[in-house]
Structure 1
């Protein structure tokens, strides 16, 4: 199994609950602060490739940052959206957990069990 990467933001309640769950279950993970260590475009494309519904699954559409966007993301190319997310990581839902083969977005203990095997 490859290393579990946990993209987090400390003030995010779901992130704190996820970290507590992982720690309580003695699961090793590499913690990455989403805003200080934003995923690279390559990492974001890999994360996207693991989703079932693409950008819809990854973007925080209820966030103020998303609501303030001046452009319609559907009019942008994938590389333009990826660059926008790198500049504005608050657009991402969190937490994001991935082992390189599977992904879990948000707090979902049942899914954590599957990804941490």
Structure 2
């Protein structure tokens, strides 16, 4: 199952939702302002990142700046508490399934959530068009 962590006012979140609906892919929408991330969900997201917390925490956001924190000084549990209490410091959308994580909306990268057969078909179709 694809989890889509969003906020309603986020334009990139709306684009991601629309893309999944256009593709006919099932997803679970999780509004991070209404539903707290669990510690297990947070750890799963962190495990999937390539760059650690910098990939999911918006350190330039006003909300983060007001906290005056140094993420490097926090344990995962402490950081989780900060995110739980201040979900607006997360970059959005966070799109995740069992194998992939994408932060933000990117037209090309989001295609990785398509089933393999669909991606293979598209590659063959593009190759045929090129010939």
Q: Is TM (by shorter chain) over 0.5? A: yes
Alignment RMSD: 1.1
Write the distance in 2 (CA, Å) between the matches of 1:22 and 1:69.
34
Please state which structure has a larger fraction of its residues in helix: 2
Deviation of the 1:29 alpha carbon: 0.5
SS at 2:4 equivalent: strand
Which one has more relative contact order, counting CA pairs under 8 Å at least 6 apart? 1
Paired positions, count: 115
Of the three residues 47, 54, 57, the one matched with 1:56 is 54
Q: What is the CA–CA distance in structure 2 between the aligned matches of 1:96 and 1:50, rounded to whole Å?
A: 11
Would you say 1:39 and 2:37 are equivalent positions?
Answer: yes
- Could you tell me how far 1:71 is from its partner in structure 2? 2.5
Partner of 2:12: 14
Unaligned runs of 5+ in 1: none
Q: d(CA) in 2 for partners of 1:116 and 1:55?
A: 26
Q: In 1, distance between residues paired with 2:98 and 2:46?
A: 11
Q: Which runs of 5+ in 2 are unaligned?
A: 116-131
TM-score normalised by L of structure 2: 0.82
> How many Å apart are 1:20 and its aligned residue?
1.1
**Hey, what's the Cα distance between the residues in 1 that align with 2:106 and 2:64?**
23
Residues 14 and 107 in structure 1, CA contact (< 8 A), matched pair in contact too? yes
* SS at 1:30 equivalent: strand
Moved over 6 A (4+): none
CA contact under 8 A between 1:4 and 1:116: conserved in structure 2?
A: no
**Based on CA coordinates, which of the two structures has the bigger radius of gyration?**
2
TM-score, L = length of structure 1: 0.92
> Which among 3, 6, 18 is matched to residue 5 of structure 1?
3
